Structures are given as structure tokens and as C-alpha cells.
Amino acid sequence: MTRKLLLPLLLAAGLAALPAAHAADDAWVLRFGAHVVDPKSDNGRLAGLKTSIDSDVKPSISLEYLITPNWGVDVLGALPFKHEVKLAGQKAATTKQLPPTLGVNYHFLPDAKVSPFVGVGLNYTRFFDSKGRGLLDGARVKIDDSWGAAAHAGLDVQLAPKWIFTADVRWIDIESDVRVNGARVGKAKVDPWVYGLSFGYRF
């Protein structure tokens, strides 16, 4: 079974395993903030050259549905992130990406002022507006979209009965084939850590 089929099935199984919902516990949390997508330091090789991808920060939004006080399902979105790609230390391309992520979270202390949580999920990253620069100036660059697993952890801090402050971190599995002028030149291994701060409103 391919990874593209396995990951959605695993997430579906996790959702099905959640406890039954209780109407009195249902709640939504809408969060606004900013996240940094920080690719790992070794991003593989393209055309035989060591590849590096820089970080970017953008405003973000997430919506979490609390099935029970402990269990929640959330989706993360953001404005497009822009990254510079270097080959052997030289600028070679730029690209933009959107990485919506769906996950299941477990909140350890939902009634406490400070509540840690962990989660797992599924990420889809769409790359677009990829352009050759520097070494590849004028070349047609295409980066394939990616499906991958995601892990999530963070802290909710209650500021008021309806307001919370959240600090969180995610690890996302992002690996994509790269093509230059139609020819595959390798796989970019992005696998970023994603750090975020946000304010949330519970309703």
C-alpha cells in the first residue's frame, strides 16, 4: 500500500477511535496567529548538488472542534509561505507553498489554566509559483505536491473564560520530486518544524 493511501486510512482510523461526543462538551476554538516553517538543515540533493531551503513566517489560522474536553479535531491554514532554494550554497529557485494540516489532538488538562496537548495528523502541501533564479535563471522549475504525516504538541494558556493563548510546534513530513525543464533532478526533503503562537477564542 502506498504512503498516499496509508496515511488517510490511518487518520480515519484515529478519528473513528475517538470517544463518542457529548453534546454538553462540544466547543469550537478559532485561533489567529503566526507560524514559522523551518525546513530541516539537510534537504537532499538536486542534480547532484547539496540543497538547502530557507525558512519563512506567515499569518496563520486554525479551527479546532472539541469532541470532548480532552479530544479535538483541528485544521491549520496560513497565507502562502515563500522559500528560497539554494544548490551548493548558490541561489537556484524560489517557490511558494500552502501546507493545510488536519489532525487529532489530546488535551491533558482541559480545565486547567495551562493545558498541554499532543496530536497526530495528515498534511497536504501544494507548491506553486516555482521559478528558476540565479543558477537556474530562466529555467522552468516544478515541485510536485506532497502528502505526509504530521505530529503536533503545544500548550494552551487560559487568559479569560473565552480566550486562550497557544504556543505550538509541528513536525511535517514533506518530500517532493523536483523537475527542471521537464526533467526530474531529484527529491527535495523539506521535513520542516513549524513553530507557532496564536490567540484563540472558544465558542
Q: What is the pLDDT of residue 149?
A: 98
Evaluate whether 37 touches 80 at the Cβ level (below 8 Å). Answer: no
Count up the domains in the chain and report the number.
Answer: 1
Q: In whole angstroms, give the CA distance from residue 24 to residue 178.
A: 49
Q: 80-95 pLDDT, tens per residue?
A: 999 999 999 999 999 9
Per-residue pLDDT tens for 98-141?
999 999 999 999 999 999 999 999 999 999 999 999 999 999 99
* φ/ψ of residue 16, rounded to 5: -65, -25
Q: Write the CATH number for 80.
A: 2.40.160.20
* Single-letter amino acid code for the residue at 43: N
Q: Write out the three cell numbers for 133.
A: 533564479
Count Cα neighbours of 113 within 13 Å in the Cβ-side half-sphere. Answer: 2
User: Cα(20)–Cα(16) distance, rounded to whole angstroms?
Assistant: 9
Residues of the domain holding 84: 3-202
In the predicted structure, residue 41 carries a pLDDT above the cut 90: no
Q: For 171-181, what is the mean pLDDT?
A: 97
Contact predicate 146/125, CB 8 Å: yes
